[in-house]
Structure 1
Amino acid sequence: MTDPVREAALPVAEAEPRRRSARAIAAASAGTFIEWYEYGLYAFVAGLVIAPLFFAQAGSLAVLATFVTFAVGFVVRPIGGIVLGAAGDRWGRRPVLIFSILLMGLATTGIGLLPTYAAIGVWAPILLVVLRMLQGFGAGAELAAAMIFVSESTGKKGKGFSGALMNIGSMLGSVLAVVFFTVLSSELAPEAFKQWGWRIPFLFGAVLTVAGLVLRRKLAESPEFERVAREQRAGRLRRGRANPLAALAQSFRASPRNFFAGFLLPSGLNVTGFVAQAFGMSYLSSQIGLTSTQTLVTTLTMMGVGLFALLFWGWLCDRIGAVRVLYVGALVGIPLAFAYFALLRTGNLALIITASVVLWAVGWAAGLSAQVVLLPALFRTEYRGSGMTSSRELQGGLIAGPAPLIASALLLAAGGTPWLVALYIAAAQVLTVAGMLLARPVLSRREITEISALRGVRPAAD
């Protein structure tokens, strides 16, 4: 006999027309585009602009201080994830998606208007930290909420590719940030770029935010959440907790095992991504001696190829299962971390670009494509927002966010050699494998069989 509550919580939307699914992907992509455009801006200019303009008083530790502010955004992300994740379970995915994009847009525009240390002294880094905290709070729910929304609004057969399309938004946002800075840094005189040119991409974030709000304003709620809301109104399911801490506790008690799995799964891709993106740019310019333009071109090429890698891995998730894709990315990503730094140390631009592209396309892109499928399946719809967002963002605050800072500290500790950083990436990929071994999706064997991207996962009943 079919359990109506169970049916209401199925993480699929079989009857959803393709048009509605396409709108869901487009609206979710718009937010992830803006999130990673805005976060990417800071990562790309951290060592090039932010350090000398806002932390000049720190001397040789300016870059390290800059990565501290980068990490601050991730420290606040779990708070945003806990608060907004609970709000998504109680009031719906749509309000959270609108609020998060608005908050991130305001913070990014604020950074573009912020006076430097030379103008207002110590208030410059203080205000920078405050704006980074606001960015982090909004971003704490953005990507996870978008992943949930797409998962709940698309069909059984194409979840991997649909997730990849959503992730293309985040990649395009980062690519746009690199292109903006590559063009500006090459076309403007160095002094003009340092004085005012770097602000233009941050201010452009306001335009992107308005466009994203227009897209999301007309967005319908996810079909799966609507079904659960009907069950809640009928008294067959308990409504989500308004207290964020109570909601967090509820999602943890429902499955501590899956909560820890949700924490561990993104470790490898996040550390790999932020080391290659944020720390890598600083390392290439300060240790290897590449020019700013060469460094930006390397990053742009790496991320451009990553667009196609995401689509490939998303397609492969639907063919062989996201579990196998995750294992490939994590296990192959371990030796690639050491090969990456070995090739960077040659100083040969072609080898540097090749190493960056391969590490990004495998060690990062495979994991990102797989987690979009796997993470939502760890939590039931009625507490998915709180459980997935808080576990994922706690990981971001404790592991992903400090990655460039930890990598910089490891580089200093090793006297300028990068092998401890490579070991750090490898350890993060091991955490991802441990998370997958721990995970037990809250689905039946029948549901797992019907969702092609979930082939090979072990259900909670095992």
Structure 2
Amino acid sequence: MPARPQYELMSSKDKNMVMFVCFSSAVMFFDFLIYLYMADIVSTTFLPDTIDPKFARLQGLGLFAIGYLARPLGGILFGRYGDIKGRKPVLLFSMLATMLSVLAMACLPTYAQWGWVAPALFIALRLIQGMAFGVYVPLAWIFIAEHVPRQYLSLGCSYVTASFYVGVLFSNAFFIWLISSMTPDQLMNNGWRLPFFIAAILSCLPLLTWRLVKESPFFTDLTSRKPDKYTNKPFTLLFKHCRQSIFIGLMLTLIISSITTVIILLLPDLMELRFSVDNDLFSFAHSLGIVFMIFGCIFYGLVSNYQNFGKILIIGSLLLIGQMFAFYYHLQSGGEYILIMYALLGFFAGIIGMVPAIFVLLFPTNIRLTGIAFSYNVMYGIVGGLVPFGLAYATLYISFSPALYIAFIGFIGVIMGLYFYHLPEFKKIDTVI
């Protein structure tokens, strides 16, 4: 493919592609997180009421964890397909599979109606959704990176990352409204179906403009060369030539997944274990933190590029470590300025907005989706499965455990930054092996 001019401006088609992927990403995150907000109600609906409540709660969390466990499988299987057959068909599959799975969940019979068949069907649908989500996230970054001019690589990927947290923010607002609008009995009857129906409708909207979506120009150029020995063996090439890139990808995913899991998803619950805070105030502070994290993702994407990735990652990681400890010390002293402290924490956590652009440059075009999907989903599955339980247990004994863990993650970010700072040059984005 002829190289695009180094300082080419983003065209209207590029901007439309960014908007399409960002909207789809926000919706996909909302779809995936529904069960997190509805775990107690849905588990009660799909499990017998004779089960001990504590055991039912564990089973409910297990149903949520299934989505994480399915992500590596979907990422690996369909990531390979995306490197062989194209980005566009896999993007379509992931969006269709998500839409149909949440629509089916909304229509499922309850345990009282169908017995154990009901939870079995729910688990199957959750597996399908998790597999689709596992390939969608890395594909969204790649799709944008392979469409926009190179100087917009980091910014474009940061927009996609920020859109994931727009989905989280929308989820928070939606479920606050839902819980305040319905009684517990209404939610238990059929109210729990509403989020799944809305998710299906929102998932359908991007598909209405599908005819405007074009295949990645990088993949089009790759297939025009007819390099069958390259395109048909992504796994062989990945583990033969890119073992170092896989390790770096795992470490970068550890940073992304840990910051998202702890600061965005777990921190409110972890705070309640050791600190007395006003629930309404802290809920607002948490949402404010997500808003500023969205801004932070875009800011770091704007100021970073392939020439200064290392420097920005070092500075951003150190700022995050400092703010995480400042946040906890402030909580310990009373939390009078919790809104400001959470906003700053969210903004500095936006350092993850620049990481996907590094991901994209780690792997050559013909194995890019396979490589990113493998390293991202394997590590995300480990973090998503272990960190929530580990940190909850540790926080019972050491209140600063989340801060210590994020400090450890920030230290890894500094090491990665030093590595990229001394790296002579990144691979060209259109490299093929």
Tell me, what secondary structure is at the counterpart of 2:265? helix
Is the contact between residue 260 and residue 435 of structure 1 (CA under 8 Å) also seen in structure 2?
no
* 3-state SS of paired residue (2:68): helix
Does residue 410 in structure 1 map to residue 394 in structure 2? Answer: yes
Match of 1:423 among 382, 395, 404: 404
Please give the per-residue CA displacement for 1:162-203, whole angstroms capped at 9, x wherever unaligned.
222223322222222111111122233344345443432221
Q: Given that residues 90 and 240 in structure 1 are in contact (C-alpha distance below 8 angstroms), is that contact kept between their aligned partners in structure 2?
A: yes
Which residue is equivalent to 1:454?
none
Structure 1 residue aligned with 2:26, among 25, 33, 50? 33
Cα displacement (A) at 1:81: 0.9
- One-letter code aligned to 2:264: Q
Pick aligned residue for 1:356 from 342, 348, 356:
342
Pairing of 1:39-438 with structure 2 (within 5 A): 39-46=32-39, 49-50=41-42, 57-60=51-54, 63-114=57-108, 125-231=119-225, 233=226, 235=227, 238-241=229-232, 247-284=234-271, 296-318=283-305, 321-344=308-331, 348=335, 351-363=337-349, 365-367=350-352, 369-411=353-395, 414-415=396-397, 417-436=398-417
**Residue 101 (structure 1) shift:** 1.1
Cα offset, 1:395, TM superposition: 1.3
Q: Secondary structure at the match of 1:108?
A: helix
The 1:288/1:190 distance shift into structure 2, 3 A limit, reads farther
- Residue 20 of structure 1 corresponds to 13
CA distance in 2 between partners of 1:371 and 1:251 (Å): 20
- The CA distance in 1 between the partners of 2:27 and 2:356, in whole Å, is 18
Query: 1:85 Cα deviation (Å)?
Result: 1.1
Contact persistence 1:16–1:153 (CA under 8 A): no
Question: What's the counterpart of residue 3 of structure 1?
Answer: none
8 A Cα contact 1:44 1:281, kept in partner: no
| Structure 1 residues 354-380: Cα deviation after superposition (integer angstroms, max 9, x where no partner) | 4433333212x211x111211010011
Supply the distance in 1 between the matched residues of 2:219 and 2:422 (Cα, whole angstroms). Answer: 18
Shifted more, 165-174 versus 257-266: the winner is 165-174
Shift of 1:389: 1.5
Aligned residues: 429
Amino acid at match of 1:93: R
User: How many angstroms does 1:317 deviate by?
Assistant: 1.4
Letter paired with 2:126: R
Q: Distance in 2 between matches of 1:410 and 1:124?
A: 36
Distance in structure 1 (CA, Å) of the matches to 2:122 and 2:307: 45
Residues 112 and 203 in structure 1, CA contact (< 8 A), matched pair in contact too: yes
Q: Is the 8 A contact 2:28 2:203 kept in 1?
A: no
| Aligned pairs for 1:433-452 within 5 A | 433-436=414-417
How many Å separate the matches in 2 of 1:418 and 1:113? 42
Where 2:150 maps in the other structure, the secondary structure is coil
- TM-score, with structure 1 as normaliser: 0.80
- Higher alpha-carbon deviation: 12-21 or 100-109: 12-21
Q: Is the 8 A contact 1:13 1:156 kept in 2?
A: yes
Deviation at 1:406, TM superposition (A): 3.1
CA distance in structure 2 between the partners assigned to 1:337 and 1:195 by the alignment: 41
Deviates more, 1:31-40 or 1:382-391: 31-40
Q: Which amino acid aligns with 1:384?
A: R
From the superposition, tell whether residues 27 and 61 of structure 1 become closer, same or farther in structure 2 (CA, over 3 Å): same
Distance verdict in 2 for CA 1:343–1:180, change over 3 Å: same
**What's the % identity of the aligned pairs?**
23
> Offset at 1:292?
7.0
Distance 2:243 2:113 in 1: 50
- For 2:30, the aligned partner's letter is Y
- Given that 1:11 and 1:152 are in contact with CA atoms closer than 8 Å, whether structure 2 keeps it comes out as no
1: CA distance between counterparts of 2:154 and 2:299?
A: 10
Could you say if the C-alpha distance between residues 96 and 216 of structure 1 is closer, same or farther in structure 2, counting changes exceeding 3 Å?
same
Preserved CA contact (<8 Å) 1:14 1:154: no
Structure 2 contact 4–149 (Cα < 8 Å) conserved: no
The alpha-carbon distance between structure 1 residues 36 and 445, as it changes in their structure 2 partners (threshold 3 A), is: closer
Q: Which amino acid aligns with 2:363?
A: F
| Contact kept? 1:11, 1:224, Cα under 8 Å | no
Equivalents in 2 of 1:250, 1:447: separation in Å? 17
**Structure 1 residue 75 displacement after superposition:** 1.7
Q: Kindly tell me: are residues 82 and 341 of structure 1, through their superposed partners in 2, closer, same or farther at Cα, counting changes over 3 Å?
A: same
**Gapped regions of structure 2 (runs ≥ 5):** none
State the SS of the aligned residue for 2:164. Answer: helix
The answer to whether the Cα contact below 8 Å between 1:278 and 1:404 also exists between their aligned partners in 2 is no
* 1:230 to partner: Cα distance: 1.3
8 A Cα contact 1:77 1:393, kept in partner: yes
CA contact (8 A) 1:164 1:310 kept: yes
Alpha-carbon distance between aligned partners in 2 of 1:276 and 1:119, rounded to the nearest angstrom: 39
**C-alpha contact 2:106 2:197 (8 A) present in aligned 1:** yes
- How far residue 74 of structure 1 moved from its aligned partner, in angstroms, is 1.7
**Partner Cα separation in structure 1 for residue 274 and residue 106 of structure 2:** 28
The two structures have a TM-score, normalised by structure 2, of 0.85
Q: CA 1:446/1:212 → structure 2, altered by over 3 Å: closer, same or farther?
A: closer
